Structure 1
C-alpha cells in the first residue's frame, strides 16, 4: 500500500503517514527499522505494509513496515 510521510521523529524513529484518503496512521520504530531506512522526510512517498490481524489504539491499522516507494 502507498502513503505519504506526514510526521517523523529521528530520535524515536516513530512517526505517521497519510493514506491516500487522508487518514493519518502512526508507525513505531520497529516498522521504520524493518524498512531499512536511515531517514524519512515529510512529504516523501512511501510504501507501507499493514498487519491485517492487528490494530493499534483507536482501531487504526498497525503498520509493520515503512520504506521508500520506488517506480
Structure 2
C-alpha cells in the first residue's frame, strides 16, 4: 500500500503517514526500523504494510516507494 509521509520524529523514530484518501495512520519505531530507513521527510512517498483493520489497524513496515 502507498502513502505519503506526514510526520516523523527522529528521536523516537515514529510518526504518521497519510493514506491516499487522507486518513492519517501512525507508525512506531518497530515499523520504521523494519523498513531499514535512516530518515524520513514529510511529503515523501512511502510503501507501508499494515495489519488489522479499523481502530486495530497498525503499520508494520515503512519504506520508500520506488518505481
Runs of 4+ in 1 over 2 A off after TM superposition: none
Equivalenced residue count is 67
Larger proportion of strand: 1
RMSD over aligned Cα atoms: 1.3
TM-score for both structures, normalised by structure 2? 0.95
**1:60, CA displacement in angstroms?**
5.1
Q: Where do 1:1-71 residues align within 5 Å? A: 1-52=1-52, 59=55, 61-71=57-67
Gaps of 5+ in 2: none
Contact 1:2 1:46 in 2 (8 A): yes
Gaps of 5+ in 1: none
TM-score for both structures, normalised by structure 1? 0.90
